[in-house]
Homo-oligomer: A and B are copies of this chain.
Amino acid sequence: MAEVDPRPQRDAQRTRAAILAAAQEAFSRSGYSDTGVRDITAAAGVNPALVNRYFGSKERLYEEALGALLDAALITDIPRERFGETVVAILTATQRSQLNPLPMMMLASADPTAREITDRLLKAVFIEPLARWFGPERGAGKAAFFSALASGLTVYRELYPLDAFGAQMPEEARNWLIAAFQSLVD
């Protein structure tokens, strides 16, 4: 006899989490405007109306989805002496991280509402903490360089793939990137 599943069929927390996870995946793949509420809920196996029940609107679902990704992406616990290679290792992981907020940011930027939300969250939960971590002297500039470099790399790895940034990145390219990132903390 099979074990009975002790979990009830109806579980608000589980359903909410399933929608949020499906939203993160969908928004990261298709952005804001091109991701429908019905796409998300179909992937989560629930009814479209539940987005409004649990999150209020598609807009607020996006905000929570991106916020969680940005939170998880903060890299301020990396040891400074190995900053460059650690960052490059993360950004060029063969198994694309589910937690990289950059694709979602790039793809969602066309919609004015999503862009406003993204701009606010990006600065509040990522750029500013990162700038403080870099230190009071030129911290903001370093955070900006970090973001620009990481974004450019992500664009040509995931959006418009170029061989030079592909799976088997040439040693020279990798070293250039490591040195560029490491120079921000030295």
Closest to A180 in B: B180
Chain B proximity mask over A151-186: 1 for CB below 8 Å, otherwise 0: 111011001101111000010110010001000000
A106 contacts B148, C-beta separation under 8 Å: no
Give how many copies assemble into the complex.
2
The one of B30, B127, B160, B172 in contact with A110, judged by C-beta atoms closer than 8 angstroms, is B30
A105 to chain B, nearest CB (A): 8
- B32 touching A110, Cβ below 8 Å: yes
> Is B127's CB under 8 angstroms from A162's CB?
yes
B-facing residues in A83-127 (Cβ within 8 Å): 105-112, 115, 118-119, 122-123, 127
What is the CA–CA distance of A78 and B147 in the complex, to the nearest angstrom? 28
Chain B contacts of A140 at CB under 8 A? Answer: 162-164
Q: Does A135 make an interface contact (CB < 8 A)?
A: no
Q: How far is the CA of A123 from the CA of B160 in the complex (A)?
A: 9
Shortest beta-carbon distance, A120 to chain B, in Å?
10
| B138 and A165 contacting across the interface, CB-CB below 8 Å | no
* A144 close to chain B: CB less than 8 A: yes
Contact B127 A159 (CB under 8 A): no
Using CB atoms and an 8 Å cutoff, list the residues of chain A in contact with chain B: 30-34, 105-112, 115, 118-119, 122-123, 127, 138, 140-141, 143-145, 147-153, 155-156, 159-160, 162-165, 170, 172-173, 176, 180
